[in-house]
Chains A and B, each alone.
Chain A
């Protein structure tokens, strides 16, 4: 479904992603882990069209999307929940979702409002609240709900539990399980590496812009030495991730 072939992305003189290749098949949940600054966000932003790769190609459902515009990608069925959520704080919850359904027709949009309200009951009670007043957990749910408004066939999630309290981390992980069980294809970057890998069909380990290991989710989750060498502390969290 998604195929990256030798993708390189640079910020000026810094190469953030070095000939990275990976693929996500239909219905799979693939998790991408690695220490801070490994290039995980760069990879997702390159796929979503926010960054332009300098070499290599990205294909989505067979079509070359290497230099595609983010708005076009949303329309063709790919959505990114960006790092730090980036919900529109000045807009209400309803307006956030309305805007996120901009590519849909009026009736599609209403139907998805229903779906989203079902999946996120907490948002339904805050419909007309400014999104700036939401708690961290609610804001993250809104960020995911927003991506679902375009009914994507491939969902990219960048650090969905970043900065959340442990109980809210559980809520987001439950959500990932629900989405996976619904058969949604997902590529997830997650700081709780081991926990995410245990849920995943497959995983990739990214370090200094290069893919250094790949395998099934549980396989990677079981490799303690891998975590120490490439990701950070044995529990799969790198210490710098805290509080960012």
Chain B
């Protein structure tokens, strides 16, 4: 029972970070049919920003705001510098552009900072835990789940209540019809990138609080998981992305907790299980859990 609760909590903790990233990927896919493989680089940008500010006497009190700001700026900048010019190109061209950005980001950090990991201080409370009965609750898990829950509620309000949110949903369903209503293409796409940057920035904060360091390729592993989560949920479906992220996090954690000891020693096995399940998923339900019936832009 304890192990079950523990796994559940851990799974939701990891899964909610996947969910934040997957939501950003789904959002961008919705408005421009791009699977943005450079999305994970926003985590890297956030981490290096924290590293630089800590070199000059940074504090965790205001660091989250700086990390999020950097991720938003970087996200909007990639759209204006790179993706805007290939917007009407084939999805394959857009995909390659995003791969190029990802590689470019790795190379730039390696050349201008260092190929090695750069650590910085962690928040003082990060490894604290409270015990509730027989379950040990890590403060960081609670923070992660709490922050994600607030972020998702905020996101839901933005998409349900604001004109920006409605415009993004409309544009995701039928981009040209949205333009016929007076929605400005540049503005709605820039806005979607900014919002995806915000979500990635929040995810980056949660990630670097746990492992306070920056290294060139740190975004890629998270990105892969987030893409898988978005695909499980059905690309372009916002609620699907959240559920996909949580499902993936739980799957990973439970695989680690309940597989035989052999597997525990080979910790990477849990990633293997995830990929096998995802492969099965592609075969059995290629359209994702939540089908977006009109994802094709006409």
Contacts and interface: CB of A to CB of B under 8 A. Distances in A.
A71 B166 contact: no
A102 B183 contact: yes
A82 interface: yes
Given A82-B177, A99-B163, A88 B169 contact: yes
A80 interface: yes
Interface stretch (A89-97, A161-169, A223-231, A234-242): A89-97
Interface string A61-83: 00000000111001100011010
Contacts, number: 71
Given A88-B173, A88-B174, A91-B170, A99 B181 contact: yes
Contacts of B166: 91, 95, 98-99
Interface string A116-152: 0000000000000000000000000000001001100
B181 to A, nearest CB: 5
A225 to B, nearest CB: 37
Interface in B148-180: 163, 166-167, 169-170, 173-174, 176-180
Given A86-B174, A86-B177, A91 B183 contact: no
B173 A90 contact: yes
B184 interface: yes
A21 interface: no
A50 interface: yes
Given A86-B174, A88-B174, A71 B179 contact: yes
A99 B170 contact: yes
A102 B177 contact: no
Given A71-B185, A95-B166, A99-B167, A48 B173 contact: no
Contacts of A96: 170
B294 interface: yes
B182 interface: yes
A75 B182 contact: yes
Interface string A193-225: 000000000000000000000000000000000
A71 B179 CA distance: 5
Contacts of B180: 48, 50, 70, 74, 79-80, 82, 86
A88 B171 CA distance: 9
Contacts of B293: 89
B191 to A, nearest CB: 12
Contacts of B184: 69, 71
A88 B175 CA distance: 10
A27 B39 CA distance: 51
Interface residues of A, number: 27
Contacts of B174: 86, 88
Contacts of A100: 181-182
Interface string B165-209: 011011001101111111111000000000000000000000000
A102 B173 contact: no
Contact of B167 (A49, A69, A90, A102): A102
A19 interface: no
Nearest to A95: B166
A190 to B, nearest CB: 19
Q: A88, A98, A149: which has the most chain B beta carbons within 10 Å?
A: A88
Contacts of A48: 180
A86 B294 CA distance: 11
Nearest to B184: A71
A36 interface: no
A103 interface: yes
Q: A48, A91, A99: which has the most chain B beta carbons within 10 Å?
A: A99
B108 to A, nearest CB: 34
A225 B273 CA distance: 72
Contacts of A80: 180
15 contacts: A49-B179, A70-B180, A70-B182, A74-B181, A82-B180, A86-B174, A86-B177, A86-B180, A88-B177, A89-B173, A91-B170, A91-B173, A100-B182, A102-B167, A103-B182
- Top 5 nearest A-B pairs (CB, nearest first) are A74-B182, A103-B182, A86-B177, A70-B179, A71-B184
